[in-house]
Amino acid sequence: NKHVFMKEDKKISILDIGAGYGRLAQRILEVVPNIEKYYCTDGIAESTFISEYYIKYRNLEKDVSIIPLHQFETIIEDLSLDLAINIHSFSEMNETYITYWIHQIAKKEIEYLFIVPNARDNKGKKLISYDGEEFQSLIEKSGYKLIVKNPKYSEPVVQQYGISPTYYYLFQYNR
């Protein structure tokens, strides 16, 4: 994203919440040269296990660390993080779990939060939890301000009829 990666020449550290198998870590490291460290975490133990395997298979252990959920709060205490990413997984959580993650991000004062929700019936125009609750206000009450909301597809017809038409949300922490 031009708002985070190209803004400065400094190295950045990323926290991927709901990292699944770790494929996004590999892809970002392939195309973004200024990643200092990429941290993957997931609430599903099987995904964390597969992520560890995948990252080792791709020889990315130097650049990517896997954080098991049961160690998450302890490990992130000492980390400096610039960007938290959540691709589709907040949409698959109920509001209680989203509240937990947003609290952790805000407590660390991570400067940027990037979210891609599932399209659902609102085509990603709203941030909706698995249990049907809107959670953008939760993010904003935690100190984040929405600075970018862009459609997945720049062409309106494709956005309307394309595969999984959603929106990309970028929030910035207000210090």
State the pLDDT at residue 8: 61
Structure tokens belonging to residue 111: 């400067």
Percent of the chain at pLDDT > 90 equals 89
Note the pLDDT tens digit of each residue in 21-46: 999 999 999 999 899 999 999 999 99
DSSP letter string, 12-59: EEEEEET-TTSHHHHHHHHH-TTEEEEEEEES-HHHHHHHHHHHHHTT
Note the pLDDT tens digit of each residue in 105-151: 999 999 999 999 999 888 899 999 999 999 999 999 999 999 999 99
